[in-house]
Amino acid sequence: LTDEEIIKEIRLGDDEALTYILEKYKDLVNAKVGKYFIIGAEREDTIQEGMIGLFKAIKCFDPDKQNSFKSFVTNYLKNVNIK
């Protein structure tokens, strides 16, 4: 299945599909949030904020408007306010 098809499964309530996408993009989240340093915050907290951003990206993704989920989530994470 493509990521876009998996997103459709998630929206139908498939928890395994959600777990799969979260795991698949965890390294991307780590790479994106690794650039941020928040005084007084643990790295794990920053990663958790990035994972919340990933979850929100899953909810916001519209396959009729975006080319691919990967490009959408990459851009979405750039704009997430991790603070």
Q: Average pLDDT, stretch 29-58?
A: 79
What pLDDT score was predicted for residue 81?
A: 56
In the chain, the amino acid numbered 51 is M
Q: Which DSSP symbol is given to 26?
A: H
- Check: CB of residue 72 under 8 Å from CB of residue 57: yes
Alpha helices by DSSP H, 12-82: 15-24, 26-33, 43-60, 69-79
What pLDDT score was predicted for residue 57?
A: 93
**How many residues does this entry show for the chain?**
83
What pLDDT score was predicted for residue 83?
A: 47
Q: Cβ–Cβ contacts within 10 Å for residue 6, how many?
A: 19
Q: Cβ–Cβ contacts within 10 Å for residue 11, how many?
A: 13
pLDDT over threshold 90, residue 17 = yes
What pLDDT score was predicted for residue 13?
A: 96
Q: Average pLDDT, stretch 22-45?
A: 78
